[in-house]
């Protein structure tokens, strides 16, 4: 039986194709198209002016083009094993557990600490509304994140693994591409009402920081499960909690700018915990891999 905790460049059981140059060209092309997808969408929206607000053809192109590109390359390369379509629940149950529990645990920890330090009034929080919004938004986020995760973890990550880069470069490149893909979203698609406390550029830069740090856990979960589905779950739970706090913001106001530290998704404390969980999984993967090699 294969050890599920292989080295990163071995984890996805990547195929040994004859043309490494072709693989790298496809990877580079994928990254270029991904980074251009939002601006292609902006161009389309400039032409098609009569569209529903918030549901334009351009945003659809921005969301779908990276995955479409990944599927086309998979068809050309005739390789689907590392795409992560299999659930692998029995082999990767621990990855699923981490995906489901991490953000709820972070939310509980950060909110409790904020309450203890007096930065949020727990009596003002409508827990029923918060949980209801999170659950209601999960399905929509899950569908959206199928497009995202099968692009980032289903194609980008396995192809970076093929390049035998060190772990930190894989985290950094995959996280930066993921973050910069949001450029048109923050700079054009979102309305001005979302940028009352920070500029569009500041939001983009911080968003890239969040995706780069978050990619450690996402990449490690993909590696220990050989499946993209727990990454879809993790991403959806993250987005659902974020949506819940935005929708119920009137009752979850932090005092004295404490949201920068205690926000359950983008706060400094939550990022530190998320990175810590990712590094713990990495440490375990490396230890088990070494143990496997010795036997």
The 10s digit of each residue's pLDDT in 129-148 is 888 999 999 999 999 999 99
pLDDT in tens, 89-110: 999 999 999 999 999 999 999 9
- Decide if pLDDT at 10 tops 70: no
Comparing 287 with 203, the larger pLDDT belongs to 203
Q: Give yes or no for residue 284 having a pLDDT over 70.
A: yes
122 pLDDT band, cuts 50/70/90, is confident
Print burial letters for 73-95: b (CB count within 10 Å at least 16), e (below 16): bbeebeeeebbbeeebeebbeeb
pLDDT confidence bin for 126, thresholds 50/70/90: confident
pLDDT at residue 281 is higher than 50: yes
| Mean of all residue pLDDT scores within the chain | 90
pLDDT tens digits for range 61-93? 999 999 999 999 999 989 999 999 999 999 999
**Which is more confidently placed, 212 or 52?**
212
Read off the tokens for 73.
Answer: 């390359």
For residue 40, what pLDDT is reported? 98
d(CA 289, CA 227): 18
Q: Residue 294's pLDDT is what?
A: 65
What is the pLDDT at residue 19? 61
Tell me the Cα Rg of the chain: 20
3-state secondary structure 188-249: HHCCHHHCCCCCHHHHHHHHHHHHHHHHHHHHHHHHHHCCCHHHHHHHHHHHHHHHHHHHCH
Which band of pLDDT confidence, cut at 50, 70 and 90, is reported for residue 11?
very low
CB neighbour class for 205 (10 Å; exposed up to 12, middle 13-18, buried from 19)? middle
- What CA–CA distance (Å, rounded) separates 259 from 71? 39
**Is a pLDDT exceeding 90 seen at residue 185?**
yes
Q: How large a percentage of the chain has pLDDT more than 90?
A: 72
Beta-carbon contacts of residue 282 (< 8 Å; ≥ 6 apart): 167, 216, 220
Considering only residues 199 and 290, tell me which one the structure prediction assigns the higher pLDDT.
Answer: 199
CB neighbours of 117 closer than 8 A, spacing ≥ 6? 258
Stretch 236-255: mean pLDDT, rounded? 83
Given a cut of 50, whether residue 260 has pLDDT beyond it is yes
Condensed to tens digits (0 to 9), the pLDDT of residues 14-45 reads 455 446 778 889 999 999 999 999 999 999 99
The pLDDT confidence band at residue 295, using thresholds 50, 70 and 90, is: low
> What letter does residue 122 receive in the DSSP assignment?
G
Q: Does the pLDDT value for residue 12 go beyond 70?
A: no
- Identify the DSSP state of 181: T
Q: Rounded CA gap, 194 and 212, in Å?
A: 22
Q: What counts of helices (H) and strands (E) characterise the chain?
A: 12, 0
């Amino acid at each position: 039986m294969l050890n599920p905790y292989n080295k990163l460049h071995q984890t996805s059981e990547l195929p040994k194709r004859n043309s490494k140059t072709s693989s790298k060209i496809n990877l580079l092309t994928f990254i270029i198209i991904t980074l251009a997808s939002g601006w292609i969408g902006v161009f389309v929206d400039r032409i098609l002016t009569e569209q529903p607000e918030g549901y334009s053809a351009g945003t659809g192109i921005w969301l779908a083009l990276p995955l479409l590109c990944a599927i086309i390359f998979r068809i050309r390369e005739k390789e689907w094993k590392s795409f992560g379509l299999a659930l692998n629940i029995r082999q990767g149950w621990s990855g699923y557990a981490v995906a489901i529990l991490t953000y709820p645990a972070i939310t509980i920890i950060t909110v409790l600490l904020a309450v203890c330090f007096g930065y949020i009034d727990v009596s003002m929080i409508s827990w029923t509304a918060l949980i209801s919004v999170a659950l209601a938004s999960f399905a929509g986020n899950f569908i959206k994140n199928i497009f995202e995760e099968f692009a980032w973890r289903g194609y980008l990550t396995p192809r970076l693994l093929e390049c035998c880069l060190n772990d930190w470069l894989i985290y950094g490149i995959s996280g930066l591409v993921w973050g910069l893909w949001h450029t048109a979203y923050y700079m054009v698609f979102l309305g001005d009402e979302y940028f009352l406390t920070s500029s569009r550029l500041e939001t983009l830069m911080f968003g890239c920081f969040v995706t780069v740090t978050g990619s450690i856990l996402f990449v490690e979960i993909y590696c220990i499960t050989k499946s993209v589905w727990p990454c879809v779950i993790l991403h959806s739970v993250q987005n659902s909690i974020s949506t819940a706090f935005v929708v119920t913001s009137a009752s979850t106001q932090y005092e004295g700018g404490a949201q920068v530290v205690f926000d359950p998704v983008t706060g400094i404390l939550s990022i530190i915990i998320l990175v810590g969980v990712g590094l713990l999984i990495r440490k375990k993967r490396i230890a088990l891999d070494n143990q496997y090699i010795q036997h």
